[in-house]
């Protein structure tokens, strides 16, 4: 085993690798950029080396700086994590040339499998099913049209290099193909410096299934079962689980067999993942192979009991596999949610800011891999992934319940995240049925909101939680105003009955609260339903609340906003207004007028850098027309016009750093 390794990464994956290194007694050296000097992974590493500026190209993508950091600290090996240089064959070779061990596959395997067309050729040679298509670069539009006629529509244009969905286009008809091909080439050229595009038949509503493999230097290859990664947004996974509800024992064995065959064909070593798309419950096709550890590896670890990072280190240090096909046993079910700095209500645009409050769920069978803490600053320079929350259960239903409860109690303040969006997915009826596909989010959510209203009981639970907090806060305020007398004993608790009217958006609830003020047991009626509730000892202000309702435990996040309470539960977010019956009656007599003001500005939807301005002052524009392009968190986005109108003044320039809601341009009155 190595004495010391360098981790060529940041954030939660760096923290996760450090954890295994510390358990094994392996020294862990971190590298960090100007933006990450206060990050948790820097503090937790045994040593840390500053390697450059905030931009990834100045630090984490600087091959020479990373290798020099490893050499200067006496490391024997480099672990690339995922992202950045993890699938860069040139970097892997440079590590080897420096006399260090690259904790991953050989550079030749990275190069072959990183080229989507070359990997298809290898897959076919290994007997792996591939999607029908044209697996050579398209020469021109004429060839593209000929291939489209042969393969059939819809089809998918894909770049030979890169990943993350960049440069991919779904083409539904022959007329769309020329423009789509031009757009693909331009996007992939800018993202990867490579214009090669190939074509596959587009499989509608597929599932995304991947097989985790381990391979040593002695020819041993083993698969560790599948992961279901169908719930995605813009080709980025959101929820992952193992096993898949759609994969039978027979299908698992066959997918595992061909995944291992592919690894042997290319001379693969270390950990890797072979990705497939599953059509129906039987036909599967090779998608690609990721030559690194996957973000979602914790779910495999939870059901197998294996530490994949430990196996990576042992394989790289020359040890044979300690597991084989006969002794890998999967136990139970595991589900993971990716927690990202993004705003589901604003088209999942990246968010930035400082984490002002942070509390992780601490529940049995819950694992949190996090790269943040209170005081962490989330910038525009890196990927939006903050943390992952994974849960284990004996069954899928149990794993879902454990994870849903954990997300209800995951508290991140200071910036908007997708915690509650992930929770809404977990609680959606289609997810509970296991009815999954890669268009799950597009099919069931609009602007980050589920297509089905929340169950009445879910809203009832939120109502009784907010009413209890409201009542206890007011009681504590009253007690604090009473005269203090050491000679007067506390009066015995008496039965309390309180009535309230609660409004949340368009819903109005009638509530009756029965119990003793200093007792923890309550009977609460919400409309026509009555619930027995056991509450904890209340503090003056609670942000997380654990209630036992009719014998079952539920976690809520609560936040005062003026005189109202914002509640988060089961993916639902509501602001609750609480009134006494008399107060409610008075509010019904108060009419408020509203005035609609037309917006005459284009505001920035997220922080980032302006990369292009595609209009000039005086230009007549239409609602939805792209006016400005910007880059944030490795993603380039167009900003559309909010209205029909004429551009008056442009207030930014290419290269400007901008913040959320900053005015970019104005329209003439």
In the structure encoding, which two tokens stand for residue 483, read together? 């005269």
Compute, in degrees rounded to 10, the torsion defined by CA atoms 405, 409, 415, 418. Answer: 0
Please give the DSSP secondary-structure letter assigned to residue 630: E
Per-residue pLDDT tens over the stretch 246-262: 999 999 999 999 999 99
CA 351 – CA 347 distance, rounded (Å)? 11
pLDDT of residue 485: 46
CA 566 – CA 575 distance, rounded (Å)? 4
Residue ranges of domains in the chain = 4-103, 105-131+206-331, 133-201, 340-428+436-449, 456-479+494-587, 601-667
Strand partners, 349: 343
pLDDT of residue 265: 97
Per the listing, tokens 């997918």 go with 255
Average pLDDT of the segment spanning 307-334:
94
> Does position 319 have pLDDT exceeding 80, yes or no?
yes
The candidate with the shortest Cα–Cα distance to 231, out of 108, 337, 371, 343, is 337
The candidate with the shortest Cα–Cα distance to 277, out of 322, 246, 318, 311, is 246
More confident residue, 9 or 151: 9
CA 152 – CA 145 distance, rounded (Å)? 10
> Which range, of 16-20, 137-141, 556-560, 656-660, averages the lowest pLDDT?
656-660
* Helices and strands in the chain: count of H runs, count of E runs: 17, 41
pLDDT of residue 595: 45
Please state the pTM of the whole predicted model. 0.84
Contact (Cβ atoms closer than 8 angstroms) between residue 304 and residue 352: no
Query: pLDDT-based confidence at 607, cuts 50/70/90?
Result: confident
> Does position 282 have pLDDT exceeding 90, yes or no?
no
Tell me if residue 155 falls in helix, strand or coil: strand
Phi, psi (degrees; rounded to nearest 5) at 398: -70, -45
Query: For the domain with range 340-428+436-449, which CATH number is right: 3.30.470.20, 3.40.640.10, 3.10.250.10, 3.40.50.10310?
Result: 3.30.470.20
Per-residue pLDDT tens over the stretch 399-421: 999 999 999 999 999 999 999 99
Q: How far is CA 14 from CA 1, 32, 57, 558, in A?
A: 19, 10, 18, 32
Per-residue pLDDT tens over the stretch 547-603: 999 999 999 999 887 778 999 999 999 999 999 898 888 777 653 444 444 568 898
Per the listing, tokens 């423009």 go with 179
Per the listing, tokens 């089905």 go with 452
Per the listing, tokens 């320079």 go with 381
Structural fold of domain 133-201: Dna Ligase; domain 1 (3.30.1490)
More confident residue, 174 or 488: 174
**DSSP per-residue codes, 338-362:** EEESEEGGGTTEE--EE--EEE---
288 catalytic? Reply is yes
> Does position 487 have pLDDT exceeding 50, yes or no?
no
In the structure encoding, which two tokens stand for residue 9, read together? 């990464």
Residue range 4-103, CATH number = 3.40.50.20
Kind and range of the H or E element at 131?
Answer: none
* Dihedral sign for Cα atoms in the order 86, 89, 115, 138: positive
In the structure encoding, which two tokens stand for residue 645, read together? 């109108």
Average pLDDT of the segment spanning 275-302:
94
**304 contact partners, CB below 8 Å, separation of at least 6:** 224, 225, 328, 329, 330, 331
More confident residue, 592 or 31: 31
**DSSP per-residue codes, 213-278:** EEE-TTS-EEEEEEEEEEEEETTEEEEEEES-TT--HHHHHHHHHHHHHHHHHTT--EEEEEEEEE
In the structure encoding, which two tokens stand for residue 373, read together? 């803490």
CA 422 – CA 520 distance, rounded (Å)? 32
Compute, in degrees rounded to 10, the torsion defined by CA atoms 396, 398, 401, 402. Answer: -110
Average pLDDT along the chain: 90
pLDDT of residue 609: 86
Within 268-395, where are the H helices?
Answer: 297-304, 308-316
**424 contact partners, CB below 8 Å, separation of at least 6:** 445, 449, 450, 570, 571, 572
CA angle centred on 114, ends 112 and 115, rounded to 5°: 70
Tell me if residue 544 falls in helix, strand or coil: strand
Average pLDDT of the segment spanning 182-198:
84
Strand partners, 200: 133, 156
Per the listing, tokens 């550890």 go with 293
> Which range, of 44-53, 434-443, 485-494, 548-557, averages the lowest pLDDT?
485-494
More confident residue, 380 or 313: 313
CA 576 – CA 461 distance, rounded (Å)? 12
Contact (Cβ atoms closer than 8 angstroms) between residue 608 and residue 597: no
Contact (Cβ atoms closer than 8 angstroms) between residue 333 and residue 242: yes
pLDDT of residue 476: 63
pLDDT of residue 297: 98
pLDDT of residue 591: 39
pLDDT of residue 598: 57
First-last CA distance in the chain: 70
Domains 105-131+206-331 and 340-428+436-449 share a fold: yes
The candidate with the shortest Cα–Cα distance to 566, out of 551, 581, 584, 578, is 578
Residue range 601-667, CATH number = 2.40.50.100
CATH class of the domain defined by 105-131+206-331:
alpha beta
Residue range 456-479+494-587, CATH number = 3.30.700.30
**573 contact partners, CB below 8 Å, separation of at least 6:** 420, 566, 567
Average pLDDT of the segment spanning 635-649:
84
Per-residue pLDDT tens over the stretch 87-104: 999 999 999 999 999 999
Name the percent of the chain lying above pLDDT 90: 68
Query: pLDDT-based confidence at 132, cuts 50/70/90?
Result: confident
Between strands 496-504 and 572-579, the pairing is: antiparallel
Tell me if residue 336 falls in helix, strand or coil: strand
Query: pLDDT-based confidence at 163, cuts 50/70/90?
Result: low
> Does position 190 have pLDDT exceeding 80, yes or no?
no
Tell me if residue 409 falls in helix, strand or coil: coil
**Other CB atoms within 10 Å distance of the CB of residue 173:** 11
> Which range, of 270-279, 337-346, 658-667, averages the lowest pLDDT?
658-667
pLDDT of residue 164: 61
* Catalytic residue of the set 200, 226, 288, 301: 288
């Amino acid at each position: 085993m190595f004495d010391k390794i360098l981790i060529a990464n940041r954030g939660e994956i760096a923290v996760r690798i450090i954890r295994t290194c510390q358990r094994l007694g392996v020294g862990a050296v971190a590298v960090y950029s100007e933006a990450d000097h206060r990050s948790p992974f820097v503090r937790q590493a045994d040593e840390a080396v500053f390697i450059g500026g905030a931009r990834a190209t100045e630090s984490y993508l600087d091959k020479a700086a990373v290798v020099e950091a490893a050499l200067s600290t006496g490391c024997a090996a480099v672990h690339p994590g995922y992202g950045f240089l993890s699938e860069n064959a040139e970097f892997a070779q440079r590590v080897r040339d420096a006399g260090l061990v690259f904790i991953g596959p050989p550079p030749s395997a990275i190069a072959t499998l990183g080229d989507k067309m070359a990997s298809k050729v290898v897959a076919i040679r290994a007997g792996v099913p591939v999607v029908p298509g044209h697996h050579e670069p398209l020469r021109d539009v004429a060839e593209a049209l000929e291939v489209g006629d042969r393969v059939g529509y819809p089809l998918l244009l894909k770049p030979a290099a890169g990943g993350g969905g960049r440069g991919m286009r779904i083409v539904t008809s022959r007329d769309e193909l020329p423009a789509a091909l031009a757009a693909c080439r331009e996007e992939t050229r800018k993202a990867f410096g490579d214009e090669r595009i190939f074509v596959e038949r587009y499989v509608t509503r597929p599932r995304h299934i991947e097989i985790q493999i381990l391979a040593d230097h002695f020819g041993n290859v083993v698969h560790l079962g599948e992961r279901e990664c169908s719930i995605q947004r813009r080709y980025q996974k959101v929820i992952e689980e193992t096993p898949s509800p759609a994969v039978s024992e027979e299908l698992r064995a066959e997918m595992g067999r061909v995944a291992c065959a592919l690894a042997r064909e290319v001379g693969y070593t270390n950990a890797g993942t072979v990705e497939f798309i599953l059509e129906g419950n039987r036909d599967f096709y090779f998608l690609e192979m990721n030559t690194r550890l996957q973000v979602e590896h914790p779910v495999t670890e939870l059901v197998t009991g294996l530490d994949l990072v430990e196996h990576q280190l042992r394989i790289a240090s020359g040890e044979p596999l300690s597991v084989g096909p006969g002794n890998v046993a999967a136990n139970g079910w595991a589900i993971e949610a990716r927690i990202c700095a993004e705003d589901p209500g604003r088209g999942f645009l990246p968010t930035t800011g400082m984490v002002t409050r942070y509390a992780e769920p601490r529940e049995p069978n819950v694992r949190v891999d996090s790269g943040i803490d209170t005081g962490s600053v989330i910038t525009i320079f890196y990927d939006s992934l903050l943390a992952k929350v994974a849960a284990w259960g004996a069954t899928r239903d149990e794993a879902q319940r454990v994870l849903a409860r954990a997300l209800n109690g995951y508290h991140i303040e200071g910036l908007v995240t997708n915690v509650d969006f992930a929770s809404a997915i977990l609680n959606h009826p289609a997810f509970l049925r296991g009815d999954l596909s890669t268009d799950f989010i597009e099919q069931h959510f609009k602007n980050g909101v589920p297509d089905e209203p929340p169950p009445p009981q879910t809203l009832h639970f939120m109502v009784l939680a907010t009413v209890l907090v409201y009542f206890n806060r007011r009681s504590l305020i009253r007690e604090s105003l009473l005269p203090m007398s050491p000679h007067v004993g506390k009066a015995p608790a008496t039965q309390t009955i309180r009535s309230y009217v609660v409004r949340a958006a368009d819903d109005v609830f009638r509530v009756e609260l029965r119990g003793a003020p200093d007792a923890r047991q309550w009977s609460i009626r919400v409309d026509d339903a009555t619930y027995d509730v056991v509450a904890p000892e209340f503090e003056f202000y609670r942000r997380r609340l654990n209630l036992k309702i009719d014998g079952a435990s539920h976690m809520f996040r609560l936040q005062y906003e003026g005189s109202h309470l914002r509640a988060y539960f089961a993916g639902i977010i509501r602001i609750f207004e609480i009134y006494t019956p008399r107060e409610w009656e008075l509010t019904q007599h108060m009419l408020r007028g509203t005035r609609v003001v037309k917006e005459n500005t284009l505001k920035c939807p997220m922080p980032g850098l302006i990369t292009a301005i595609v209009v000039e002052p005086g230009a007549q524009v239409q609602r939805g027309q792209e006016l400005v392009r910007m880059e944030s968190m490795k993603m380039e986005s167009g900003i559309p016009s909010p209205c029909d109108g004429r551009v008056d003044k442009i207030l930014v320039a290419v290269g400007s750093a901008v913040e959320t809601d900053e005015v970019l341009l104005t329209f003439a009155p």
